[in-house]
């Protein structure tokens, strides 16, 4: 027999679960930043939507399913935070479709992106010719990031959580030796100790994470 009270209780539980998930994710909303985020949203929506109107599934069973799902999400987040390879495997890497002004046709196919769609995405960012583009990449959430040839307003992340972005170094015509020398000038012997390193207008800003304390040092490129 259909019970509005049962639906109401399940709806309240689902609503509370959504609030907890948003706070737990630290994003303030459910907008996906990666494929993993999209899958999480789909699964959560399927669980809540499929259970609310099904009288055969009890509230206790609903709570158990939500607990199992939450455990999987928390485990995945811990693994992503502790291992960069796991993070890349789960979230994937951005797909570079233009590098140093040159289009990469095979990466367009990899991103399942046509040239006409790419042109439309450029116009949405007020870029009206491919000749203006120095670098373009499709992010994990499907959005397009564009760096213009004459633009110096964008910072470039060279190191993220101990992982060097070799594509960005190549874009700058630099190598890992150049990066390591700058780090050593700041007393940093290993890139593993770097939480984030950003290049912006000739300046390298390095953030380290030692003993849970984040510090910042800056070196200007000679």
User: Tokens for 215?
Assistant: 């510090």
- pLDDT tens per residue across span 40-72: 777 777 787 777 777 788 888 888 888 888 888
Residue 153's pLDDT is 61
Q: Please give the residue range of the domain that contains residue 202.
A: 156-220
- CA dist 178 and 174 (Å) reads 6
Rounded mean pLDDT of 81-109?
82
Which of 123, 148, 173 is the C-terminal boundary of a domain? 148
Confidence band of 185 (pLDDT split at 50, 70, 90): confident
**Beta-bridge partner residues of 213:** 210
Number of separate domains in the chain: 3
In the sheet with 133-138, reading across from the earlier edge strand, the strands are: 102-103, 95-99, 133-138, 144-148
| Range of weakest confidence among 23-32, 100-109, 176-185, 194-203 | 23-32
Residues across the chain: 222
Nearest to 9 by CA among 46, 62, 45: 62
Which of 108, 127, 148 is the C-terminal boundary of a domain? 148
* Count of CB atoms situated within 10 Å of the CB of 5: 7
User: Tokens for 86?
Assistant: 């796991």
């Amino acid at each position: 027999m259909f019970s509005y009270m049962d639906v109401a209780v399940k709806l309240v539980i689902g609503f509370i679960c959504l609030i907890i998930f948003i706070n737990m994710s630290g994003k303030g909303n459910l907008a996906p930043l990666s494929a993993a985020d999209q899958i999480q949203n789909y699964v959560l929506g399927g669980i809540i939507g499929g259970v609310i109107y099904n009288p055969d599934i009890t509230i206790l069973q609903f709570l158990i399913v939500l607990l199992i799902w939450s455990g999987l999400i928390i485990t995945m987040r811990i693994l992503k935070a502790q291992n960069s390879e796991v993070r890349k495997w789960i979230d994937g890497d951005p797909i570079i479709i233009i590098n140093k002004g040159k289009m990469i046709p095979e990466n367009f196919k990899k991103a399942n992106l046509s040239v006409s769609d790419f042109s439309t995405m450029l116009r949405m960012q007020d870029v009206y010719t491919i000749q203006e583009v120095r670098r373009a990449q499709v992010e994990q959430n499907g959005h397009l990031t564009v760096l213009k040839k004459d633009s110096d307003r964008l910072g470039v992340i060279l190191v993220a959580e101990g992982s060097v972005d070799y594509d960005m170094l190549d874009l700058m015509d630099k190598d890992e030796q150049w990066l390591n020398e700058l780090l050593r000038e700041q007393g940093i012997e290993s890139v593993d100790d770097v939480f984030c390193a950003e290049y912006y207008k000739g300046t390298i800003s390095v953030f380290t994470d030692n003993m849970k304390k984040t510090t910042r040092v800056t070196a200007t490129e000679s």
